[in-house]
Amino acid sequence: MMRVLAKIAYDGSAFSGFAPQKEQGIVSVSNTLYKILSRVGIDSKILAAGRTDKGVHASAQMIAFDVTHRWDLAYLRTLLNKKSYPYIFFISLRYVSEDFHPRFWATWRAYRYLVGLQMPNPFSARFVSYEQFGDIHRLQEALRLFMGSHDFVFFKKQGTHSKDSIRTIMQSYAYVYRDFLIVHIRANGFLRAQVRLMLGASFSYARGELSKPQLQAQIDAQSRYHSTPVSPNGLYLCGVGYSSMSVSTMLSSGEKIL
């Protein structure tokens, strides 16, 4: 048995989220991946670096699956992309050690949020948000408040099951590029809907609807003042990182990334 690590991108608007769904008629990313792999004769459990919510996209999700014989990965990637078109794309494949886990070995994950500065365009509406984000300087100030380790109990979707809600934010900033406001947030991990709730509160502060003491109190897990998440349309899981040590043991006998 050999383990393959794949970097994939997908259009989240086509799915109910990444997590498997048992109900008939509900299409998830993982359910679709199982069908794609089975169509090329691969019957394996799928491991993922994280679970994106309904409507959230990915430009760099990491998944792992096992194969019973050694594939030519260039050929396998071509085969998988023919089966997964148009909503999922396999960016790269590599062989990794059999104990590699894309979630537990990850040291950070990053999300990018795109907000259109122009009037809503129906051809990009599934991939770009059109939020009123307020003053960009106040937005930058709000995003800086999230830096460091905090208990995000008031920045997670109700019903979230996790051992604890403490996460460490490593980067949190916004910038304007062409016709978009882009927010980048990187952390050691995220709770369900955490990024969308963080952005909702930050935009509210930038619009002058939420005071700095109120935002700080919610970040400090003292009280909840804002609970409306931003739209998932413009949100992308854009990166997953691994330590240099794990990367050195990740590849089996010098495998190249395909």
Binding residues for substrate: 111
CB 111 within 8 A of CB 238: yes
43 to 67, 146, 155: CA distances (angstroms): 8, 42, 37
Nearest to 48 by CA among 27, 2, 17, 80: 17
* Rounded Cα gap, residues 209 and 198, in angstroms: 15
The dihedral formed by the CA atoms of 114, 118, 120 and 122, expressed in degrees to the nearest 10:
-90
**Rounded (5°) CA angle 249-253-258:** 90
Distance between terminal CA atoms of the chain?
20
Q: Enumerate residues 6+ apart whose C-beta is below 8 A from 226.
A: 197, 200, 201, 204, 210, 214, 215, 218
Positions annotated as catalytic residues are: 53
Q: Measure Cα distances from 134 to 18, 131, 181, 200, 206 in Å.
A: 31, 9, 11, 11, 5
- The answer to whether the CB of 145 falls within 8 A of the CB of 173 is no
DSSP state of 135: -
Q: Do the Cβ atoms of 60 and 43 come closer than 8 Å?
A: no
Report the C-alpha gap between 96 and 38 in whole angstroms: 21
Known binding-site positions = 111
